[in-house]
């Protein structure tokens, strides 16, 4: 499959070749990775770019200090998607991560108690997602490592405090993200933007919707702010809407769950293979074992789009919940 790289990719590649400093090289490589479309034809190119980025970072660290030192913001991606919670101080990001995951971020009733990212894993529909608590973002300053974390995230959750000033909080957070060239998917991109933007799947979590008065205030917020993003009313105090957060993450992730079984046996419905929407039987086979792609003769599938036990070939597009029996 051809890579079909867009013109901005080659412009970034040219800047990389002309770069003289590690910082310039790293910025150009990261732009190339962001611009590159995600499909089977670019898998090897994306992997190569990631290796080059890691190498430039390592060389830069060695020049600065003689040994490699990862920053506190270098959170390794885990699970089906990395979801970064972002917002102003004291909106409840740490409490949300502590409640929804196995992580234990510091939770306090005063601002700026979080000074480094804290990741945790949340399970939803037998799929693991990584939620990352982060230090508050303000107009005064944002750590370069924080900017890098936001740009690399799969999904952004903007966390607001209903009992504060959620409209101002939203405006400030969106303004800060725009300053980092980060835009929610579907939002207009300025024509005068000189460098490629980072387009992110984004939704809003309005915390502290604790009672009936909170419902009324949330409705007013939606009307006054004219929100054009999925917005969830939640309450850490009452646990209201917490599962809606994970459901939204699941839907935005663009994934399917596929289960496998051996002939004559039942599938393990607690351990799905997680694949991007549109994945084929061949891609599933490669995920199970690299030799399966060449050795597979056919497969039988049970699911909503096929007859039970229907035989299919390698190019069959899988659906969420399919059960696959591979014959080699």
Q: Which pTM does this prediction carry?
A: 0.75
Per the rule left: phi > 0, alpha: psi between -120 and 50, beta: everything else, 66 is left
- Residue with the two structure tokens 């944002």: 142
Q: What are the structural domains, with CATH classification, of the chain?
A: 7-65 (no CATH), 82-253 (3.40.50.300), 255-327 (3.10.20.30)
pLDDT digits (tens, 9 = 90+) for 40-57: 778 888 888 888 888 887
Cα distance between residue 213 and residue 225, in whole Å: 18
pLDDT digits (tens, 9 = 90+) for 103-146: 776 554 544 445 589 999 999 999 999 999 999 888 777 778 89
Q: What sign has the CA pseudo-torsion 58, 62, 65, 66? A: positive
Q: Mean pLDDT, the chain, as a whole number?
A: 88
User: Helical H runs in 78-158?
Assistant: 93-100, 144-152
Shortest CA distance to 150 belongs to which of 83, 72, 50?
Answer: 83
pLDDT at 115: 59
Cα distance between residue 150 and residue 233, in whole Å: 23
| Spans of the chain below 70 pLDDT | 1-3, 61-70, 105-115
pLDDT at 2: 66
Phi and psi at residue 12, to the nearest 5°: -65, -40
Shortest CA distance to 187 belongs to which of 152, 248, 228, 232?
Answer: 228
């Amino acid at each position: 499959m051809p890579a079909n790289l867009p013109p901005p990719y080659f412009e970034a590649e040219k800047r990389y070749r002309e770069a003289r400093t590690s910082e310039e090289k790293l910025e150009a490589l990261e732009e190339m990775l962001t611009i590159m479309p995600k499909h089977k034809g670019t898998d090897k190119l994306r992997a190569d770019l990631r290796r080059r980025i890691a190498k430039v970072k390592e060389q830069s660290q060695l020049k600065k200090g003689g040994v490699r030192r990862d920053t506190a913001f270098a959170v390794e991606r885990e699970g089906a998607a990395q979801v970064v919670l972002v917002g102003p101080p004291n909106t409840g990001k740490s409490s949300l991560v502590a409640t929804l995951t196995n992580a234990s971020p510091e939770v306090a009733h005063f601002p700026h108690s979080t000074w480094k990212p804290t990741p945790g894993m949340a399970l939803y529909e037998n799929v693991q997602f990584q939620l990352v608590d982060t230090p508050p973002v303000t107009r005064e300053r944002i750590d370069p490592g924080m900017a890098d974390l936001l740009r690399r995230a799969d999904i952004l959750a903007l966390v607001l405090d209903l009992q504060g000033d959620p409209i101002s909080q939203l405006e400030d957070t969106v303004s800060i993200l725009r300053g980092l060239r980060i835009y929610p998917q579907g939002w207009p991109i300025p024509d005068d933007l000189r460098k490629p933007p980072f387009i992110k799947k984004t939704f809003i979590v309005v915390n502290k919707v604790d009672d009936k008065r909170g419902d009324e205030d949330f409705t007013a917020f939606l009307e006054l702010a004219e929100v054009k993003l999925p917005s969830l009313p939640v309450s850490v105090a009452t646990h209201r809407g917490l599962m809606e957060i994970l459901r939204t993450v699941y839907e935005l992730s663009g994934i399917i769950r596929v289960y496998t079984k051996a002939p004559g046996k039942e599938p393990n419905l607690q351990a799905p293979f997680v694949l991007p929407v549109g994945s084929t039987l061949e891609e599933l086979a490669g995920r199970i074992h690299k030799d399966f792609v060449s050795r597979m003769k056919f497969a039988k599938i049970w699911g909503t789009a096929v007859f039970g036990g229907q035989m299919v070939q390698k190019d069959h597009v899988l659906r969420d919940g399919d059960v696959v029996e591979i014959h080699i």
